[in-house]
Every structure is written in C-alpha cells, then in structure tokens.
Structure 1
Amino acid sequence: MDLKDRDADASRRIRTAAVLLFAQRGYAATSIRDLAREVGMTNAGIYHHVSSKEALLADLMRVAQQGLIDATERMLRGVRSPADRLALLISSLTASHALGPMTTRVMDGELRSLTPGSAVRDQIIALRDAYEDHWRLALADGVAEGVFRIADQRLTRLALMSMCTGTSEWYRPDGDSTLEQVCAEFVAIGLAAVRASAQVVATPDLSLLPDFPWEPPDVRNDPRPAEARR
C-alpha cells in the first residue's frame, strides 16, 4: 500500500471511528484521545488527517447531507406527481436512515455541537433547508393541485420526516420486515396522512441512495464497549 492509499485508509478509519463514537456517546463526550484509541493512533496522528474535532464533525455532516440531497434529486428527476414525489421522499429518507443509522444519527442530531454563528454551521443549515425544500414543495404542490388535504403543512412534514428518520433507531436487516416492506408501509401511512386517494405510486430505486463509506459495521446488538470491538 503506497502513501496515498495509507492516508486514504487512515482517513476512512478515523471517520468510521468518529461516526461510531459520536453516535454512541455524543460529540461532546468524545475526545481526540478517544478517537486515537479507537483507531490505534496517536493524537498527533489524528491531527495529521483532521484539523480539529469540530472540523471532522462538520465534514461528516456536510458530505452526508450533500449525499442525501444528491440522491434525492436523482430519484426525483422527471417526477411531477406530488404523490409520487412524496412517496419517493418517504422511501429514500427511510432507507437512508435504515442503512446508515450512525451516520444519519450524527447528521440529524449534532448540529447543536457546531459553533453558533460559524460559517460552517450556517452551511450545514443551508444544506438541511435545501433538502427539506423538496418536502415543502411536494406537500405544497399536492395541496395546490387538490390531491392532498392537509391542515398544517409544516406539522405534517415534520411528522412524516420523523417517522422516516426513526428507522435509524430500530430497523434491523434481520428483523421481521424487509426494508422494501418498511418503505412501502411508510408510504401508505404518509399518503393516508395527507388524505391522498388510493393510487399506485412510484417505486424507489434504492441503488440511488447515498453511499456512506465510513458507516461502521452494525454494532447495535453488540453490548461490548467500542474499545473491546477493535
């Protein structure tokens, strides 16, 4: 393995460890020393690859959020029907959180850890808002076209998105339902929530979902502390 490959491997291992520890312990409770111990490096070795713990968090959140936006826009390309768009939004957000539970948990929950008023925090908020605009527009267009009946579009959007993101907490690949079944059931629930008429809606192409190469192996059923799983 040459120097470039070794650096890439070390960078990936640091990000995998960061996602694991930030998701399990929280960003504030994780130190650079903890990261170094998890990947078998010195503190100086960590700083060779990242400028600071906050910069590492921001990079993870930025890449993950942009990946979700890009995947969503690929999935929605050419789709006009509000019901189809809502169905694809529900499926893709559900599946992204089910398949990348720790990355999405960090992406969703650690905005509070970025320095208030900082440029990077503003950038992450802008990316989050750009993603949520797809939901706002789908719901607004459905109401405008008379195919959705919604009393409060904001509350409906928040409720549906919370349903989807919750899969990062409970979905198991070896559980009773396949991911496709979960997505289909959530789409049915979502369309019922907006009082859409029963119809066949677009089926998501899950191969278009964002790739999080640093996502840790599924350790949710492993009771051992992180250090013991190395």
Structure 2
Amino acid sequence: MPTSSRLSVPSPDARDRLLEAASSLFASHGYQAIGLRDLASHLGLRAGSLYHHIESKQGLLFELIESSLTDLLYETRQCLKGSRCTSERLQRFVQAFISFSQAHPDKLTLLTREAVNLSDEQTQHVEQLKADYSALLSEIVVAECGPASVPQARLIAQAVLSLLCGQGQWGTLGTAREQMVAFVLGIVWTGKTQRLPDSGAAF
C-alpha cells in the first residue's frame, strides 16, 4: 500500500482546514495549477509550515482521493443496509452516489479528474478502491438480472457509473433523483436484453 501522507500534528483543526482548502483549490483550479505556496497563502501560512502537516503535494492529493473513495464506499454500504429487494438496492446505490456528490462536490471532481496526477503505486491503490465500488454495483446488477448476466454485469456497472459521474461533473445530479434512478434502471434493463459495448473506466 502506498505510504500515507497522514502525519501526527499538534492541531487537528488546522489540518482539517488544510485538507478542506486543498480539496477546494484543486477542484476549482486544477491540481497542476495550485502550488504549495498558493495553498499556504490561502490559509495564511508560510509554505514551509505545510510540511508539518503533509509529506508532499502529491501525497496530499492521494490522501484526499483515497479518503473520498473510502467514504463513498462506506456511505453506499450503509445506505444499502435494510434494502428489502434487489430493485431497492439499486435505487439506494444511486441515491447514495447523488447524496455524496451533493455533499462533497469537490471530492467528486478530484475522483474523476485529478487521479491522473498520482504515482503508479498510488494509482494502483486507488484503482483497487474503484474496483471495489464498481464490484458492489456489479453484484446488485447480477442479482437484478439473474446469473446469466454475469458477463454483462461489469459493462452495465461501467455504463451506470459513467452516467452518474458525467452528470455529477455537469452539475445536474440531484435535481431530479427519480429521473436519474429511472435512467439507471433503463441501463440495467438494456443490459438484460442486449450486449452493451465496453464503456471503459467511469472515474
């Protein structure tokens, strides 16, 4: 597993402010456009003082993306608890994603746009978390469509995640949750009846 950038620091509140500021600046301006001096200036600190909180700018980005994916997985699994049927699990999966994207729009941006700036080792770890999240959806699709859908389940999951992530980036998620759930159900139904082309990675 990649070395974590989390270090012991005397002020958790200051570190939380650092993480929030970095997430906001990286999301709004782009990781490459923001240097540690910019981040320090935003916080009213000297650039050198940031190294009391982080190991590197890239390590900071990795921590933000890793924690975002971990939170998304956890919140989705919590939302799925108590579902009475497979169809309800699918709806809850979509609702959990929408709720996450509304509560943490910057995190969604980092997940979908900035992971390309990670090291190979960090990327491998992030890709495993993404695979775990996609597998969770694939399991729901298989349960909804039946055992014969196993070869299609990954493709259907990719199509659904592409829709959700794409809509989230355009800023329209959550304006009509029922419609979004209906779109997802339509993708799953299409996967039942015909072969879907590989849509590639969603994030």
Please say whether Structure 1 and Structure 2 have the same fold, judged by a TM-score greater than 0.5: yes
Counterpart of 1:100 in structure 2: which amino acid? H
Greater shift, 72-81 or 133-142, is seen at 72-81
Matched, 1:169 2:163: no
Ranges in structure 1 where 5+ consecutive residues have no aligned partner? 173-178, 197-230
Alignment match, 1:88: 92
Contact residue 134 and residue 158 of structure 2 kept, 8 A:
no
Summarize the alignment of residues 12-51 of structure 1 with structure 2, pairs less than 5 Å apart: 12-51=16-55
Q: Which has the higher contact order (CA 8 A, sep 6+)?
A: 1
1:128 positional shift: 1.2
Quick one: distance in 2 between partners of 1:98 and 1:171? 10
Q: Say whether the 8 Å CA contact 1:135–1:157 is kept in structure 2.
A: yes
How many residues in Structure 1 have an aligned counterpart in Structure 2? Answer: 182
SS at match of 1:41: coil
CA 1:69–1:151: 2 relative to 1, 3 Å: closer
Alpha-carbon spacing, 1:186–1:9, altered in 2? closer, same or farther (3 Å): same
Note closer, same or farther for the CA distance 1:192–1:171 as it changes in structure 2 (3 Å cut).
Answer: closer
- Alignment partner, residue 131 of structure 1: 133
Instruction: Considering fraction of residues, name the structure with more helix.
Output: 2
Cα root mean square deviation, aligned:
2.7
Partner amino acid for 2:42?
E
1:156 is aligned with what amino acid?
I
Following superposition, the deviation at residue 154 of structure 1 comes to: 3.7
Which of 59, 74, 80 aligns to 1:70? It is: 74
TM-score when normalising by structure 1 = 0.70
Match of 1:183 in 2: 177
List runs of 5+ in structure 2 lacking aligned partners.
Answer: 1-7, 191-203
Matched, 1:59 2:53: no
Letter in 1 for 2:87: A
Correspondence list, 1:80-229, <5 A: 81-116=85-120, 118=121, 120-144=122-146, 152-165=152-165, 166-171=167-172, 179=174, 182-195=176-189
Q: Shift of residue 194 of structure 1? A: 2.2
Identity of aligned residues (%): 24
1:63-102 CA-partner distances (Å, limit 9, x unpaired) = 1111111111111124363211111111111221122111
User: Does 2:14 match 1:10?
Assistant: yes
